[in-house]
């Protein structure tokens, strides 16, 4: 069977502590490995407030599993999601090679832009610090001159 690339988004109960969430993530990583599903990446998006209550919960912990899997195993994985009470919602989508390439390019460009932004901010901070030091040394020199004039 040929494997296809999927993104499986899962919202865990946000009221669980971080160690319990990590245990759940490890549980699903082991489930993937037992079923010959190749886990590419597990992106921990984090704890967020839900737009509306799900099972009387206000917060959720979002995780995206990027997996390579035969399409027949997706139903088995989703069945495990349904049976788990700590999962509020899930969504598994197929990502075409074209979309995957565009996504990789997007994140690559985003990283480049972030690096440029950080470099610019560092240069601005350095310039501000140098200007403040120069101003400080000028005011210190003037106060020394006034002291000398009084003597």
Does residue 70 sit in the same domain as residue 101?
A: no
Beta strands in the chain (DSSP E): 4-13, 38-54, 57-69, 87-94
Q: Whole-prediction pTM value?
A: 0.71
Q: In which region does residue 59 sit, left (phi positive, over 0), alpha (psi from -120 to 50) or beta (all else)? A: beta
Q: Sorting pLDDT into bands at 50, 70 and 90, what band is 98?
A: very high
Does residue 44 sit in the same domain as residue 118?
A: no
Report whether 136 contacts 144 (CB < 8 A).
no
Does residue 70 sit in the same domain as residue 51?
A: yes
Q: Residue 22: what pLDDT?
A: 94
Q: Residue 149: what pLDDT?
A: 57
Does residue 91 sit in the same domain as residue 101?
A: no
Domain hosting 144: range is 96-151
Across 62-74, average pLDDT: 93
Across 83-92, average pLDDT: 94
Query: Which of 74, 95, 116 represents a domain boundary (last residue)?
Result: 95
pLDDT at position 81 over 90: yes
Query: Which of 95, 110, 132 represents a domain boundary (last residue)?
Result: 95
Q: Residue 8: what pLDDT?
A: 95
Give the model confidence (pLDDT) of 109-146 as tens digits: 989 999 999 999 989 988 888 888 888 777 665 655 55
Q: Which two tokens stand for residue 75?
A: 């139903």
Q: What is the mean pLDDT of the chain?
A: 88
Does residue 56 sit in the same domain as residue 123?
A: no
Q: Residue 146: what pLDDT?
A: 56
pLDDT at position 83 over 60: yes
Does residue 129 sit in the same domain as residue 106?
A: yes
Does residue 91 sit in the same domain as residue 117?
A: no
For residues 107 and 138, which has the higher predicted lDDT (pLDDT)? Answer: 107
- When divided into structural domains, the chain yields a total of 2
- 140 to 79, 113, 126, 145, 149: CA distances (angstroms): 73, 40, 21, 9, 14
CATH number, domain with residue 54 = 3.30.70.60
């Amino acid at each position: 069977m040929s494997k296809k690339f999927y993104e499986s988004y899962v919202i865990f109960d946000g009221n669980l502590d971080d160690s319990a969430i990590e245990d759940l993530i490890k549980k699903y990583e082991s489930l993937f490995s037992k079923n010959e599903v190749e886990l590419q990446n597990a992106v921990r998006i984090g704890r967020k407030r839900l737009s509306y209550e799900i099972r009387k919960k206000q917060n959720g912990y979002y995780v995206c599993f990027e997996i390579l899997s035969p399409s027949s195993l997706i139903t088995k994985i989703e069945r495990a999601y349904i049976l788990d009470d700590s999962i509020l919602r899930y969504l598994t989508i197929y990502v075409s090679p074209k979309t995957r390439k565009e996504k990789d390019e997007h994140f690559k460009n985003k990283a480049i832009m972030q690096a440029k932004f950080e470099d610019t901010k560092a240069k601005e901070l350095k310039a501000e610090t140098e200007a403040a030091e120069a101003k400080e040394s000028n005011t210190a020199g003037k106060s020394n001159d006034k002291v000398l004039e009084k003597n």
